[in-house]
Structure 1
């Protein structure tokens, strides 16, 4: 990325940074991925109401939820490279149309094997969207804003559940699960038009800010890159992904996602048990409550992380709270106390998103961070296969969800341990006096 001279250092009086990108880039990207997350997670609301269709056991249901993430792996790195070298805007557009069609196909399956294949295809096309958007954000938001930008975009994850879980429940009260899956695959095809006209790959290409504003913003981004040390022997992708920090981030993300998706994809089933077989609308509304709290936690935790620079604490702290809530939830009687613990768990597994995804940009230069983030997301999201399947399989074997959720707590414990004792960050100054990004993390 080329730009004018680097922005002034911390000692210089701050220059006004254009704010329109928060209004134009974040909402369009957030709504786009909210639709992706809906098509990924609507199966969790649908499964309890399939009434024996396709004859799915609990293990089969876990596999239907989790096989999405096997397909999710394949386009992570290719899409990240395309976004960085070609166009994030065009890459996401193509994937958006493809996943919308794949989501609609899920409505026509007649056997569980066809359901597996359709969900795999959905994961395949959605897989490249996440790293491509992270590359887009890295072209619009300097590092000192990155955790907040990430969190505001990723707020679409709990927001999708807040809006869509009740909507799916309401739709299920008036239509079959097939119609629900079909109709919810249509919006990405419509939003693709909005995406094409509203999003630009970088400030210099946007029509809605002045050239002076674009030049200033690209200058700030160039200053971030200049502050990072040039990689020894060149910036090869292989050297980037073999860095110990990247390998640790993969381990953290895998264990975290195992707990995250194992919890979130089984949450509607747990809530249905708490309501003693309540209507799908009631289950959908109650399921939205933990995600509403998680949304607030994501934004607050990211703002705290940007203000203090304490990325490690912003990731590990919530995960530790999630471990306690998951375990306590299995020994507390149903009703209000268990619902409270479900809310705490949701807050805990969502809150680290913004700070976690700010870390790769602080460790690696722009030309290699795309592949690193793609690899972390690809391998880490295999936990999205492991978590739901483990809960379903252990529930079938033991007759209780206790063992499944205890295993999820164990994965979250490993993630918290790797963050706390593995990344070993150097103490970071608050945002107002932040040193260059590359000095914030130990290089071993």
Structure 2
């Protein structure tokens, strides 16, 4: 979708063929952003609040760190498995209706988590919660990308994604306070309700029209069934640009470290500092807030750097991945517990989110408009399956074997791989942008 500025402060949206679809005022665009942000907030509250319940679950059911980490990783696995088909459904059906449906499903699953009577039931409920969350991020990102011009996409998408860390803050901080007073079951149930209300409100948002052209088979290729041709064309588009592939990988590796920090920091503070659950949650919340601020500020920095030279949009997260590696390894491997260590952890929490905005924005830039939600579904799939799912479980395994401090000192090494992937993507980004702009190939059939 192309956005043409108008003199009265509105934007005219055009589809892939250049046909005008509808007018969008800045007020409407930011109103939709606010509603999408709020729903994303409830998503991550329901997803992350279980971390505040780790001490209670460990005491009540005698769970190991591996079992506790699996409760977080499992959601990421089901999000990954559902992301691509649900994102493709959103491209074909309706972004708005998909968003509303996903919000209702994960909120009902969160209620089921609160009613679980044993570990197996809780595992099943957490898996269902991940299924509900799978299609929301891609559909929301695609919807917002149609409402704002390209020059603002890293900032807007980064701000939208910042609802994740902020939701995690609320889940960990308020969850820790409420669990002490109400118990983990009641706390989980209370935080599930806002998502249902916001899902209904989202049905009032106006969707944007999707393109539906046909795919031409390559010359000399025997005809294939229509659905196979569509699938082949979509997959080819998702992996056509080397920049997109490297961005998928780099974002996932960075999130291995982020998910480890957000999942295990409250338990580390509880065990190493002797903090009660509420205090550990409050300190961890400061780190997550630093990450939320970093998502917006560093996404804006990447946009500004990219305005001077396009490849800098990926150079910035590459350099900051190395900063994160240095700071967090120093904090957990060589710094004793105390104020200096906490300051280093907060600094690492700020820089660790540098890629959250640029990665989806760059992917959107190098794929065709009619598969944006599907492309963001691929981002979600790779980042959840090879990033968010890996961190909590692998750190739990390392913790059971070597102790939690050693696990937290080793996991930041994944940032080195992220930096390498972003650096490679920065070297192909400008070429892929030119290739996309100059391409005369038919659009992808949905």
Give TM class, smaller chain.
0.7 to 0.9
Sort the Cα spacing of 1:16 and 1:134 in 2 relative to 1 into closer, same or farther, 3 A.
closer
Q: 1:352 aligns with which of 347, 351, 355?
A: 355
Q: What does residue 333 of structure 1 align with?
A: 336
For residues 405-436 of structure 1, give each alpha carbon's deviation from its aligned partner in whole angstroms, at most 9, with x where no partner exists: 244212111011111134414569xxxxxx97
Distance apart, 1:439 and its partner CA: 6.6
Q: 1:176 aligns with which of 166, 175, 183?
A: 183
2:80–2:383: 8 Å Cα contact kept in structure 1? no
Aligned to 2:223: none
Instruction: Quickly say closer, same or farther: Cα 1:13–1:192, change in 2 above 3 A.
Output: closer
CA separation of 1:408/1:21 partners in 2, compared to 1, >3 Å: closer, same or farther? farther
Corresponding residue SS for 2:192: coil
State yes or no: 1:92 paired with 2:92. Answer: no
Hey, what's the Cα distance between the residues in 2 that align with 1:92 and 1:299? 23
- Deviation, 1:194, is 2.2
1:30 paired to 2:28:
no
Residue 397 of structure 1 corresponds to 401
> What are the Cα deviations for residues 198-248 of structure 1, in whole angstroms up to 9, with x where unaligned?
x2223x9xxxxxxxxxxxxx9xxx9xxxxxxx9988992021123233332
The structure-2 alpha-carbon separation of the partners of 1:118 and 1:13, relative to structure 1 and needing over 3 Å to count, comes to closer
1:288 to 285, 290, 297: 285
CA distance in 2, matches of 1:300, 1:410: 24
2:427 aligned with 1:424, yes or no?
Answer: yes
Aligned 1:205-244 pairs, distance under 5 A: 236-243=233-240, 244=242
Aligned equivalents of 2:122, 2:417: Cα separation in 1: 32
Distance 1:262 1:232, change over 3 A: farther
Q: Which structure 2 residues correspond to residues 69-80 of structure 1 after superposition, within 5 A? A: 69-80=76-87
Match for residue 384 of structure 2 among 357, 381, 397: 381
> How far off is 1:189 after superposition?
1.1
Q: TM-score, normalised by structure 1?
A: 0.83
Change in 2 beyond 3 A, CA 1:258/1:30: same
Q: 269, 272, 275: which is aligned to 2:270?
A: 272
CA contact 1:391–1:401 (8 Å) conserved in 2 = no
CA distance in 2, matches of 1:324, 1:260: 14
Q: Return the alpha-carbon distance in structure 1 between the equivalents of residues 4 and 137 of structure 2.
A: 29
Q: What's the CA shift for 1:24?
A: 0.2
Question: What is aligned with 2:128?
Answer: 121
Aligned in 2, Cα 1:70/1:339: closer, same or farther, shift over 3 Å? same
Measured in 2, the distance between the counterparts of 1:281 and 1:437 equals: 52
Deviation track 1:296-344 (CA, whole Å, cap 9, x = no partner) reads 2222222222223121123212211111122111221112111112111
Q: 2:255 aligns with which of 254, 257, 261?
A: 257
Query: How do 1:110-149 residues align onto structure 2 when only pairs under 5 Å count?
Result: 110-149=117-156
Give the one of 201, 209, 212 matched to 2:207.
201
Segment of structure 1 superposing worse, 122-131 or 317-326: 317-326
Contact 1:252–1:415, Cα closer than 8 Å, also in 2: yes
TM-score (norm 2): 0.82
Deviation at 1:284, TM superposition (A): 2.3
SS of 1:184's partner is helix
Gaps of 5+ in 2: 12-24, 220-228, 307-311, 439-446
Query: Which structure 1 segments of 5+ residues have no match?
Result: 205-217, 223-229, 429-434
Q: 1:55 to 1:140 in 2, by over 3 A?
A: same
Aligned mates of 1:245, 1:293 — CA distance in 2? 28
1:81-137 deviation per Cα after TM superposition (whole angstroms, max 9, x unaligned): 222222111001111111111011111222222222111111111111111111111
8 A contact 1:318–1:347 mirrored in 2: no
Partners of 2:261 and 2:124 lie apart in 1 by: 23
Task: Output aligned runs, 1:96-107, within 5 Å.
Answer: 96-107=103-114
Instruction: Tell me, yes or no, if the aligned pair for 1:151 and 1:353 is still in contact at 8 Å.
Output: yes
Moved more, 308-317 or 90-99: 308-317
